[in-house]
Structure 1
């Protein structure tokens, strides 16, 4: 995102709240204004979406949308830190929005308390600058990835299972050599091929690390700083305490992004 037409007029509260950002040469006042102007959609207010949401709100991302049709369950609290025991049975969007506003009342949080469908996804995603996928099922993942591709929106995608996590950025509309999600995973696996966290389990802190990394990459994309994860897949093995990054080239024959219109 460029710095044109930015409002650089900060209140004293904003200057104090974001002072540690503003001190960074890579952020400064212009970067903080870019964060304030940004619109980010989070798909899934669960283990990944919770730390992601809280750090984006704390960092001053101006508008944050949250999509989730679920309600807070006791089994969520082991990892979904945006929710508390007091929010049991509340909708996850309402609970997460309350947590975000408690950290930073200056940001706008928009609740989308429904399951994303093919009918709703295009218009919803087109209304945001960046989409962060932390969903827990393949149907939603592919729906979001395809809608981001068509809408020319950057997708920051993370996933976790047991003691492992992965993260990448997909933006073929901005990075000509960068892949789309289907370049990496052409089709969803058949039902039952890959267990869910509800079936196989997940260490709560693993979702915290990956959600925080997802927030970091999102902020980098908003500010245009550092090296993007576009074209790379970050893999983390928590038990081995090992990070590794593998190259993901764009598939010239990908049926999703090989069109010259992408």
Structure 2
């Protein structure tokens, strides 16, 4: 593919980088990245990926915009309240960068549709707000052999990690058991500082671009935690668990499960958007 003069000008600050250049920008233009969730984390990730010139951005979300979303879900505007998030997101992405193709999936991610949707993308970004969905995304990425950039936020705390199937620790390697019902509060119950979504979501977008470009050191086998009150990052090293039910030496999970998955678990620290 060849860029027009306008595109060369648009992406000139990328092209100036030795690690990117014209070849790297063409990789970005050919990339297909799926955002599971067009909310707090999906909003900043989508906007920065669009600005970067990612060729195809997929948005999967069954929800509509609510007034309470606007405190952190910056891709949506006041006039969008009541409209499907995928439609609102698509409009903002293409207004920012007409070069980007946006694929909309106005549906809930399930075991029945996950593999079919994931197969068309190079990188999957997890921006969902419940633990069952996070495990479903992890498992679907494993079976589809797709890199996953996980993110989660609650109150003043955020977390990011990148998972390469069969090469790095997966979500189930680290977080094995769900909390007792009612133990972990949601953002709706406990709140979240809105700007935290921007910090974590843009880190997720950075990880996705690094994977597309094949540069740098991804956040594999590492959990990057951010404490917004202290403005402090902490890195926790993790490793593949040979006893992991999904990617271990003797896996017991051989297919995807929907809600009620007997193996479903969650993070020790809440990871909600």
Report the TM range for the smaller structure's normalisation.
over 0.9
TM-score of the two chains, using structure 1 as the length reference: 0.93
The 5 A counterparts of 1:182-201 are: 182-201=172-191
Residue in structure 2 matched with residue 3 of structure 1 by the alignment: none
**1:233 maps to 2:233:** no
Distance in 2, Cα, partners of 1:115 & 1:26: 37
Kept in 2, the 8 Å contact 1:142–1:188? The answer is: no
1:49 is matched with 42
Alpha-carbon distance between aligned partners in 2 of 1:216 and 1:113, rounded to the nearest angstrom = 25
- Offset from partner CA, 1:74-128 (integer Å, 9 cap, x none): 1110000000011111100000111100100101001101111110111111111
Q: Which residue of 2 aligns with 1:138?
A: 131
Q: What is the rounded CA distance, in whole Å, between the counterparts of 2:250 and 2:26 in structure 1?
A: 34
Give 1:154-169 correspondences, 5 Å limit: 154-169=147-162
Partner of 1:242: 232
> Is 1:71 matched up with 2:64?
yes
Could you list the runs of 5+ residues in structure 2 that have no partner in the other structure? 255-273
- Greater Cα offset, 230-239 or 181-190: 181-190
Structure 2 counterpart of 1:223: 213
Q: Within 2, Cα distance between the matches of 1:37 and 1:120?
A: 24
SS at match of 1:254: coil
Deviation at 1:14, TM superposition (A): 1.0
Residue 234 of structure 2 aligns to a residue whose secondary structure is strand
Residue among 12, 15, 27 paired with 1:22: 15
1:10 maps to which of 3, 24, 27: 3
Q: TM-score, normalised by structure 2?
A: 0.90
The CA RMSD over aligned residues, in Å, is: 1.4
Indicate if the aligned counterparts of 1:72 and 1:91 stay in contact, CA closer than 8 A: yes
Deviation string for 1:37-90 (max 9, x for gaps)? 111110111111000000000001100000100001111100000000111111
- Count of equivalent residues: 252
Kindly state the Cα deviation for residue 259 of structure 1 after the two structures are TM-superposed.
Answer: 4.7
Residues 188 and 11 of structure 1: CA distance in aligned 2, closer, same or farther (over 3 Å) = farther
C-alpha separation in 2, matches of 1:158 and 1:193: 20
In structure 1, stretches of 5+ residues that fail to align are 1-6
